[in-house]
Amino acid sequence: MNSETKNCQNCKQVFTIEPDDFAFYEKVKVPPPTFCRECRLQRRMAYRNERALYKRVCDAPGHTEEMISVFSPDKPDRIYDHKAWWSDAWDPMVYGKKADFSKPLFTQIRELWREVPDIAILNINPVNSDYCSITEDNKNCYLVIGGDYNEDCLYSAFVFNSKDCMDTYWVLKSELNYETVDSTGCSRLRWSRYCEGCYESAFLFNCKNCHDCFGCVNLVNGAYQIFNVKYSKEAYLEKLKEFNLSDYDAIEELKKKFKLHSLKYPRRFTKAIQSVNSIGDNLEETKNCRFCFEVGGGAEDSAYIWLAYSNVKNCYDCDHFGRKSENSCEASTIYPGSRVFFSKFIFSSHDVYYSYNCHNSSYLFGCIGLRSKQYCVLNKQYTKEEYEALVPKLIAHMNTMPYADQGGRIHGFGEFFPAELSPFAYNETIAQEYFPLTKEQALAQGYRWKDAEEKNYKVTLRSEDVPKTISGVTDGILEQIIGCAHNGTCTEQCTAAFKIVPQELAFYRRMNIPLPRFCSNCRHYARAAQRNPLKLWHRACQCAGDKSANGAYANTAPHPHGAGPCKTDFQTPYAPEKPEIVYCEQCYQAEVA
């Protein structure tokens, strides 16, 4: 097969469908996409609310209690608390409908979706951790998003097996971390990224097995270094006092200084460990994978996937999935699944199409909330023979009477759920995090937008009046309502105001860290901005022989290509206009042992 270029229905940009793509679509019997890779991802993201939490009354019969939910009270969906949803007191098959060939199937699925009870929030086995979302087995945690098996962690996302961490993002097996990103096995680490096995340090980038280091980049097995300069232990401790890490203004200046310092050192063109014939970023044990991001524990023969772990195979356009999922396309949150297509929240199931929140089931088409079922369409039971005869008719109907959204985009068989049918507004979802839009832009593109709700509080402490050091803070701060420095004017799900909770205050005091000036959502967005985008650009290695092409970095070791410029090119998440120095794998390894 030859490559084919198309114009994306959504962004109108040209994208290419490769021969390997056609082979996959033929294998799983789905048509090629009409949206480009990024717009396909954005559309799936518009169905995932992680951070917007509300209080609403449980809709289960006989229930009147208030609960935490990702569905705001004004949503028409029927929402049950976790225990009520999993109980045998209700039957999702009661809501079953016969397919209506006089209207688009997507319309029928969304109507069913609103009737079948949904789970208020995915928070499994929490212990004193009610305000956590899409999590499991957390203890004494507060506003942890997408993180599991943690204790005493706050305001963190994708944190796992960690303890006493706050304001972290993608941190594993760590303790007493603050404002760290993409780090593993670290202790008492602050304001750092891409670190492994580091402790008692601050302002590190891409360091491994270091301790008592400050402002260092690309350091391995280092100790008592400041901005990559070696000191004696005594001199290090004395020099460290000059930086005044307990003062808010001093820290803000250090952030700027460290960012400039880090740009003087080469970056690895992409992070890929034990990966063969694969392109993407943050890859581990991948083989024959293209345009894949955040893959841990192995993936093979897959493309356009994001956030996968534990051996996935032959999957396209999937996210938040793993545990040996395979042969799936345009699906989100599969644990595990085989032959899952255009669906979301599918657990331990196979042969599922256009379904949501189904468990231990198989041979479903357009089903919502089913458990341990098979051969069902729109939550209506069929025999195996009836199901196999009906499904081809439904596919044909989706193509002859496709769903047309408000923007004129056509959704037939082979397209994920239209974004405008999502139960969430655009700015409630992670789409706003990765593809930020203003309210005007979102509405113009056919998305819904949720305006900030009227609050019945009054800010009692302006951000600029917050004490600059934790030593100047009394317990009275727990009663204050602090105005976020963004004051709700950003596009970062800003809450406009926030409070300090007792557990949080104890952490600041223990670590001698000043109070923040921004709400937890704005702080999260700032951490997310440190990470590489889910995009790739074609570039060449910037090693010019004995130094970097811009002259900012002098090489410390001989490189395989010799004294002349490196000729290696690659796909990288660093855009050409970005200031980072980007080296190929061989040049990078020569410099960072």
The string of pLDDT tens digits covering residues 500-529 is 999 999 999 999 999 999 999 999 999 999
Whole-number Å distance between alpha carbons of 376 and 474:
60
Distance (Å, whole) CA 256 – CA 94: 59
Strands (E) located in 323-478: 326-334, 337-341, 344-347, 349-353, 356-359, 362-365, 374-377, 380-381, 403-404, 410-411
Phi, psi of 510 (to 5 degrees): -65, -40
pLDDT at 446: 87
CA distance 29 to 108: 23
CA–CA dist 63, 82 (Å, integer): 12
Domain ranges across the chain: 167-268, 278-395, 463-528, 536-593
User: Looking up tokens 């998305």, which residue turns up?
Assistant: 447
- pLDDT < 50 regions, the chain: none
Q: Which residue has the tokens 């937890």?
A: 520
Task: Supply angle C-alpha 381, 382, 384, rounded to 5.
Answer: 135
102's CB contacts (< 8 A; 6+ apart) are none
Is the whole-model pTM more than 0.85? Answer: yes
Concatenated DSSP letters for 65-123?
-EEEESS-TT--S-EE-HHHHHSSS--GGGG-----TTS-HHHHHHHHHHHS-EES--E
Number of Cβ within a 10 Å radius of residue 177: 30
Length of the chain: 593
Taking a C-beta distance cutoff of 8 angstroms, is the pair 375, 382 a contact?
Answer: yes
State residue 417 phi and psi, 5-degree precision: -50, 135
Strand partners for 226: 214, 229
Distance CA 149, CA 519 (A): 25
Q: Is 381 in contact with 373 (CB distance < 8 Å)?
A: yes
8 A C-beta contact, residue 241 and residue 229: no
Tokens of 355: 């379904």
Cα–Cα nearest to 100, from 110, 92, 114, 115: 110
CA distances from 313 to 32, 284, 289, 393 (A): 19, 14, 10, 29
DSSP H helix total and E strand total for the chain: 12, 40
Query: What's the gap between Cα 289 and its chain centre?
Result: 20
- CA dist., res. 440 & res. 438, Å (int): 5
Distance CA 237, CA 224 (A): 8
> Residues 420, 406: contact at Cβ < 8 Å?
yes
- Distance of alpha carbon 319 from alpha carbon 322, whole angstroms: 9
Supply the Cα-derived Rg of the chain in whole angstroms: 25
Secondary structure (H, E, C), 173-227 = CCECCEEEEEEECCEEEEEEEEEECCEEEEEEEEEECCEEEEEEECCECCEEEEC
The per-residue pLDDT for 181 is 98
On whether the CB atoms of residues 42 and 422 are closer than 8 A, the answer is no
The C-alpha atoms of residue 409 and residue 424 are separated, in whole angstroms, by: 19
